[in-house]
Structure 1
Amino acid sequence: MSDLAASTISLLEELIRNACVGEGEVRNADTLERFFAGSGARVQRFEPEPGRVSIAFTVEGGPSEPLTLLGHTDVVAVDRPKWTVDPFAAEERDGRIYGRGATDMLYITAAMAAVTREVARAGKPSGTLTFVGCADEEARGGLGAGWLAEQNPAPFSWQNCLSEEGGSHLPVDGDALVVVVGEKGAAQRRLVVHGDAGHGSTPYGKELAVALIGEVAQRIAAIEPAVQRSDLWEGYVRAFRFDPATEHSLLDGHGYDSLGELARYSHAMSHLTIAPTVLRAGSSINVLPSTAWLELDIRPLPGQTQEEIDDMLREALGDLAPAVEIEHLITEDATVSTTDSSLYRAIVDTYAEFFPGAPVVPILSAGGSDLRFARRRGGVGYGFALHDRERTLGDVLDQLHSHDEYVDVRDVELTAQAYRSLVGRFLGV
């Protein structure tokens, strides 16, 4: 094992053990600062709220294009009874490192840090390299990359950015590697209805808020948005090299089961999705609640507007629409980066170094990442990592926020090597 891979794995294990679940990213920031001690990289800490620390390490370079690596240091919560290993022990077993955040995305964060430290020790690159350990990504970045982009964007460049998650393989004959070039947006909604308050023992003649919100939920769940044909969707489908009938069916938004483990992801990549996730009404069993609400996790595709989504909801509600208040929660447009950029070409060349002849397929993430903030500031952002041939896109997606989350040691090694190769290729160091 190379020194780069060994230092990446050691750092990954410490980041997992720090257990930065939704807060306390200061522990991982402190770990990273110790890791970079004596490297010569410039260190900057950002703390919008106590303990919510993001940290940047910059290697000043020449006048060529800069590169920024956006890792995140927070992880999601665990349901401990469902885990068969300690989620914060970073246990290595049978070639895998187990722990919350192992895949999402601490192995990439550790690889970014290890490569940046190596570059800092190697000398001046042709362009400036910055690695940022971002807080709060799992809560949409309001105290991390989002806060930096909006409140304090100057300390590093947003022009060319890399983050999670790419470099897994499509389950096709031969091979194909994916690179994430964009992500869906957010159109969170709360649908509120009102009924008649009263005693639970005398419901006769009352407008029941619970019954009304139940009908609202049924009508919303019945919405079937149309497929959105796009270059990304068509390129993704054609990469599987299905027979013409299956390909045509998929392009038109049907037959997702032919994609096997990728059916749910593929549907999300090609459709606006609407998921009822939270339902609230009442607080006491003997009181008729006067208010009830349903919350929706809605993910729009590029080009779909918030106004169009409200119109879709009203149309589905039909005659109930006048009785339903539509409140906007988090709303963000989808973002996509061009594949006509020097950084994207460097990614393609790097993949070819490790997997010669494998086509590279740009895809859209169904979830969110810190890269959207770079895109909003006019930069490009791509999800970049590298996995062994056996690791499919479905395998990686299944690890995100899962019980017994793990990352293969081989994938940690490959990702560190790939980042070193790409940084050297892009920055000449």
Structure 2
Amino acid sequence: MTLYDDTLALLREMIRNACVNDLTPDSGQEIHNADTLERFFAGTPGIQVSRYEPRPGRTSIVVTVPGTDPEAEPLTLLGHTDVVPVHEERWEHPPFDAEIVDGRLYGRGAMDMLFITASMAAVTRDAARNGQPKGTLTFVGIADEEARGGLGGKWLSEEHRDAFSWRNCLSETGGSHLEVADGTDALVVVVGEKGAAQRRLHVGGDAGHGSNPFGKDFSVVKIGEVARRIAAIRTPVSSDEIWQGFVRAFRFDNDTEQALLHGTDPDAYEKFGRLAAYADAMSHLTISPTVLHAGGAINVLPSHAYMELDIRPLPGMTQDDVDRVLREGLGDLADEVRIERLISEEATVSPTSGPLYDALLATFEEFFPGVPVVPTISAGGSDLRFGRRLGGVGYGFALHGRERTLADVFSQLHSHDEHLDLEDLDLTVRAYRSLVRRFVGA
């Protein structure tokens, strides 16, 4: 079997394992994919295999190919093994059968991110079979990424920091294409991600019987006004080089480009087409009201109400900055609202320079000669942020055919009938193989 065939077989088995993470502690059961991966590596010479399990069934697997030179740069491939839930009735193709139809593989996790995880594993095994690399190569099949890594990357970085090197890491995703205005091509590499600033906003009001509302201070009305004011907040556009480079890569007309760079016309985002929401998120602090709660019994006036916000700060923005934006948006209601911080994490970004980044550029050039590479940041999270916090660098890397744009890839994440074009699996396997040989000398 070829390297591609091995990867495809592994990917299909991992999809069929259905390691569905519904954000509860005992879901996921990534032990099934850990077992699959351990069988995949069985008999491979010169490797070291370790398993980590913070809770029964929530298993991560670490496969290390030791390098011959302790001074050489190491490389760690972080591939998560859990997937998000499905609404099975909305799928035309069964989500865990891993069907192949017309050159596409259908299944939950096919795009997010089991095709990359399988490619990483196959290339690691291939490297080990071809002799010791100069730098240490590690593959990590990591649990619980879809729930922000509390039983996976976060736990490993805190409790088993030395289980593998966090110095140079690759994970999801990258290598898709931009729909440049003049029809030329551009490739995407993910260099960072926004932070998290989840908030719960509390308000109070008068309790009482629902039959006697006269003169009452309604917590329900107040939280409604809080929601209206929060939804109206519009923060300044980012001024960092990543956003500026992203805008310029599209080669818009000058008026559109200036409006996007300076935030003078919100309607200009429509020029991005299907990437309008992505571009907006990349360039602003985003605030999404997602949960609202007040009362319980229909005949009781509730004295307390709250709403929850999914907030994603840009690099350089602190948690205090976020609270200040909220208070300013609340205006004269600010003193009546208590802001509770939930999950709070700073944004992380890796430099667009250095040995690993240069190796990525060289690999892109090998497969798509002369095509510019555009750094982006993700609005969502990945396990790469844990490595960056420990002083390492981390990039999202894969490779897609010319027809697969960034918008196409994003449309597959967490979607019904999630699928992967098999051309992209072939490209990603070959790109990872090339990159590994280039970077650690395998």
What is the Cα deviation at residue 191 of structure 1?
0.2
Deviations 1:252-310 (A, max 9, x none): 12310111111110111110100001111122222222211110000000001110110
What are the ranges of 5 or more consecutive residues in structure 2 without an aligned counterpart? Answer: 22-27
CA distance in 2 between partners of 1:4 and 1:286 (Å)? 66
1:100 maps to what in 2? 108
What is the Cα deviation at residue 151 of structure 1?
1.1
Match of 1:226 among 236, 256, 264: 236
What is the Cα deviation at residue 202 of structure 1?
2.1
What is the Cα deviation at residue 418 of structure 1?
0.4
Residue 168 of structure 1: SS of its match in structure 2?
strand
Match of 1:323 among 330, 333, 336: 336
CA distance in 2 between partners of 1:335 and 1:35 (Å)? 33
Match of 2:370 among 357, 365, 373: 357
Match of 2:204 among 186, 194, 206: 194
Residues 1:120 and 2:120 aligned together = no
2:255 maps to what in 1? 245
2:389 maps to what in 1? 376
Deviations 1:84-141 (A, max 9, x none): 2211111111111111111110000000000001111111001000000111101100
Residue 180 of structure 1: SS of its match in structure 2?
strand
Residues 1:109 and 2:114 aligned together = no
1:260 maps to what in 2? 273
CA distance in 1 between partners of 2:304 and 2:117 (Å)? 44
Match of 1:132 among 117, 130, 140: 140
Matched residues, number: 428
Match of 2:63 among 54, 57, 64: 57
Q: Which amino acid aligns with 2:57?
A: G
Match of 1:27 among 10, 15, 32: 32
What is the Cα deviation at residue 203 of structure 1?
2.0
CA distance in 2 between partners of 1:168 and 1:408 (Å)? 12
What is the Cα deviation at residue 229 of structure 1?
1.1
What is the Cα deviation at residue 17 of structure 1?
0.8
Residues 1:289 and 2:302 aligned together = yes
Residues 1:75 and 2:83 aligned together = yes
What are the ranges of 5 or more consecutive residues in structure 1 without an aligned counterpart? Answer: none
Residue 163 of structure 2: SS of its match in structure 1?
coil
Residue 417 of structure 1: SS of its match in structure 2?
helix
What is the Cα deviation at residue 204 of structure 1?
2.0
Residue 198 of structure 2: SS of its match in structure 1?
strand
Deviations 1:133-167 (A, max 9, x none): 11110110011011111111101100000000000
2:24 maps to what in 1? none
Q: Which amino acid aligns with 2:37?
A: L
Residue 187 of structure 1: SS of its match in structure 2?
strand
Residues 1:275 and 2:288 aligned together = yes
Q: Which amino acid aligns with 1:250?
A: L
Residues 1:332 and 2:331 aligned together = no
Residue 201 of structure 2: SS of its match in structure 1?
strand
CA distance in 2 between partners of 1:3 and 1:239 (Å)? 37
CA distance in 2 between partners of 1:315 and 1:402 (Å)? 36
CA distance in 1 between partners of 2:49 and 2:437 (Å)? 21
Residue 174 of structure 2: SS of its match in structure 1?
coil
Normalised to the residue count of structure 1, the TM-score between the two structures is: 0.98
What is the Cα deviation at residue 360 of structure 1?
0.7
Deviations 1:176-211 (A, max 9, x none): 101000000000000011122222222222221111
Residue 140 of structure 2: SS of its match in structure 1?
strand
Q: Which amino acid aligns with 2:224?
A: G
Root-mean-square deviation over aligned CA pairs = 1.0
CA distance in 1 between partners of 2:307 and 2:440 (Å)? 49
For structure 1, which segment, 134-143 or 193-202, has the greater mean C-alpha deviation from structure 2 after superposition? Answer: 193-202
For structure 1, which segment, 204-213 or 416-425, has the greater mean C-alpha deviation from structure 2 after superposition? Answer: 204-213
Residues 1:400 and 2:404 aligned together = no
